[in-house]
């Protein structure tokens, strides 16, 4: 069996495939082939100010079980840590405003939530109140963009100033492109009910948990999440799995004979009974597109490249706002001309207790969106300097970082645009007809738990197909 791609989804697929009885002489030979010199895709640890810090993803959703389960299976359960803060702010009209906790799916769902949202114009409030009292009609079918729903129902300003940074920001995309069916099915269902969007969202919102009853929203690992992929790869090797880095797969062919598939690299041709392909969509389309137009269609999926600048500051020179960070709406004017390139700030050592040290603050800035790649024109030094200027503006600081690290992410985040679910379902069916299973953040949602779950499900599907073979 071969797994193509050693991001978390590919590694999790190999973990599932290799999970039979230890020492079983009939256990299949499993090979993981990875193009990059290291495993893990965007997960990466780096030194910042003398400490190992996640320069990529630094936490994962606690309410989904997949990541925690895998971490416990690896025996790392004692290293799980809880996020140390909650809530965030929005930089709106030149001020930091606390984001009300009462938002539903990033959208104000009550008049109280609207009142709590600072920095909105009178016009924006009237547009939203109108939804409560005399809602605009909107026909949504099986899918619509998040932007279309929010703009029509609550007006442009709430869409641009609140929902775009909260929802679009996480995806590094634009809400006018992003699919409500794929990303916010609750929003689509509320829109499909017709009438007031706010009332429908309020009716569907779960009752608030009693104080202290809800656990942490995010977990990470002591020592950094970026260590997880290599730990997993090491455990796979201990199970007898072959993990080869710096080995891009160049072709995947269907053949007749004992083994129906052959996986080719520059120097090898490995026969396989089953293959899990866990690569970004463009690579998967290049490898499998000639098999079926539905697989070639994966090549149309757009990605948003992004970068993160992690910086160490001496003590904050102005008080940090409460919570885990700050979101910056698109189009926020920049004194140097144009608009800010930073889309969000994260207070790394406020989130993760092991990073805390007296006399220092760790701040991370996020740059890059599906339609804003201005950051790519800067080299690391200039990007760090520009981001430091923007941090100084948003946080009202006069200090400069004592150390900073730039990490760039290619291809970045897949954009789940309108009609996405259908496109990937058809591709998956076409691949399965050829004996291949697809896994990764292209298919089952972006995020560490989603990617791990996607890999394990693909592996189980491959094992079931093999078991059913005559």
Candidates 174-182, 253-261, 278-286, 395-403; binding stretch for ligand FAD (CB under 6 A): 278-286
Measured from the CB of residue 66, what is the shortest distance to ligand FAD in angstroms? 10
Q: Could you tell me the smallest distance in angstroms from the CB atom of residue 55 to ligand FAD?
A: 10
Residue 44 binding ligand FAD, by CB under 6 A: no
* Using rule CB under 6 A, residue 60 touches ligand FAD: yes
Nearest-approach distance from CB 74 to ligand FAD, in angstroms: 16
Give me the phi and psi of 294, to 5 degrees please: -70, -25
Output the CA torsion sign for 169, 172, 176, 179.
negative
Other C-beta atoms lying within 10 Å of the C-beta of residue 39: 24
DSSP per-residue string spanning 378-410:
S-HHHHHHHHHHHHHHHHT-----SEEEEEEEE
How many Å apart are CA 93 and CA 45, to the nearest integer?
35
Query: Can you list the positions of beta strands (E) in 152-302?
Result: 218-221, 242-244, 251-254, 261-264, 269-272, 275-277
Dihedral of CA 310/59/183/110: which sign? negative
In the complex, what is the shortest distance from the CB of residue 392 to ligand FAD, in angstroms, rounded to a whole number?
23
> Of these, 1, 3, 10, 99, which contacts ligand FAD (CB under 6 A)?
10
The CA angle 441-45-266, to the nearest 5 degrees, is: 60
Residue whose entry in the numeric block shows the structure tokens 């619509």 = 144
Name which position in 36, 138, 189, 296 contacts ligand FAD (CB under 6 A): 36
Of 147 and 412, the one with the shorter C-beta distance to ligand FAD is 412
Out of 1, 2, 6, 113, point to the residue binding ligand FAD (CB under 6 A): 6
Site map 411..450 versus ligand FAD, x via CB under 6 A = -xx--------------------------xx----xxx--
Using DSSP, state whether 210 is helix, strand or coil. coil
Q: Which residues pair with 51 in a beta bridge?
A: 48
Work out how close the CB of 396 gets to ligand FAD at its nearest, in angstroms, rounded to a whole number.
26
- Piece of the chain touching ligand FAD by CB under 6 A; list 39-47, 76-84, 142-150, 384-392: 39-47
Q: Which of 16, 57, 415, 427 binds ligand FAD (CB under 6 A)?
A: 57
**Sheet strands (E) in 296-358:** 303-314, 325-327, 342-347
Quick note: the x/- pattern for ligand FAD over 231-250, rule CB under 6 A, is -----------------xx-
Per CB under 6 A, residues contacting ligand FAD are 4-10, 33-36, 41-43, 56-60, 248-249, 278-280, 283, 306, 409, 412-413, 440-441, 446-448, 451
């Amino acid at each position: 069996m071969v797994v193509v791609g050693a991001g978390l989804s590919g590694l999790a697929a190999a973990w599932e495939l290799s999970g039979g009885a230890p020492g079983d002489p009939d256990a299949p030979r499993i090979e993981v082939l990875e193009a990059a010199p290291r495993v893990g895709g965007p997960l990466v640890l780096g030194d910042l100010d003398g400490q190992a810090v996640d320069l990529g993803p630094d936490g994962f959703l606690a309410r989904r079980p997949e990541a925690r389960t895998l971490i416990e299976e690896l025996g790392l359960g004692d290293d799980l840590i809880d996020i140390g803060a909650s809530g965030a702010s929005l930089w709106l009209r030149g001020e930091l405003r606390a984001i009300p906790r009462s938002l539903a799916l990033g959208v104000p769902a009550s008049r109280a939530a609207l009142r709590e949202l600072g920095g909105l114009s009178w016009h924006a409030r009237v547009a939203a109140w109108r939804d409560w009292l005399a809602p605009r009609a909107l026909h949504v079918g099986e899918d619509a963009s998040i932007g279309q729903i929010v703009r029509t129902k609550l007006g442009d300003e709430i869409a641009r100033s609140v929902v775009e940074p909260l929802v679009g920001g996480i995806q590094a995309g634009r809400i006018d492109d992003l699919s409500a069916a794929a990303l916010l099915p609750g929003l689509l269902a509320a829109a499909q009910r017709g009438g007031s969007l706010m009332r429908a969202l309020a009716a569907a919102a779960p009752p608030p948990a009693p104080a202290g009853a809800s656990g942490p929203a995010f977990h990470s690992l002591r020592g950094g999440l970026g260590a997880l992929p290599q730990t997993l790869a090491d455990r796979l090797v201990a199970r007898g799995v072959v993990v080869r880095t710096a080995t891009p797969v160049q072709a995947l062919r269907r053949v007749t004979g004992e083994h129906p598939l052959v996986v080719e690299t520059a120097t090898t041709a490995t026969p396989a009974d089953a293959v899990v392909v866990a690569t970004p969509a463009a690579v998967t389309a290049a490898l499998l597109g000639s098999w079926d137009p539905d697989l070639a269609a994966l090549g149309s999926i757009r990605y948003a490249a992004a970068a993160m600048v992690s910086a160490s500051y001496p003590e904050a020179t102005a008080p940090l706002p409460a919570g885990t960070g700050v979101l910056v709406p698109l189009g926020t004017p920049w004194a140097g001309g144009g608009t800010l390139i930073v889309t969000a700030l994260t207070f790394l050592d406020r989130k993760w207790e092991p990073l805390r040290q007296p006399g220092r603050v760790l701040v991370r800035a996020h740059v890059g969106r599906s339609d804003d790649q201005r950051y790519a024109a800067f080299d690391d030094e200039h990007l760090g300097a520009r981001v430091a200027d923007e941090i100084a503006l948003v946080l009202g600081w006069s200090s400069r970082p004592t150390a900073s690290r730039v990490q760039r992410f290619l291809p970045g985040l897949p954009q789940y645009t309108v009609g996405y679910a259908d496109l990937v379902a058809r591709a998956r069916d076409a691949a399965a007809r050829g004996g291949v299973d697809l896994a990764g953040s292209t298919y089952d949602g972006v995020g560490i738990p989603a990617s791990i779950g996607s890999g394990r499900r693909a592996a189980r599907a491959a094992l079931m197909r093999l078991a059913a073979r005559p």
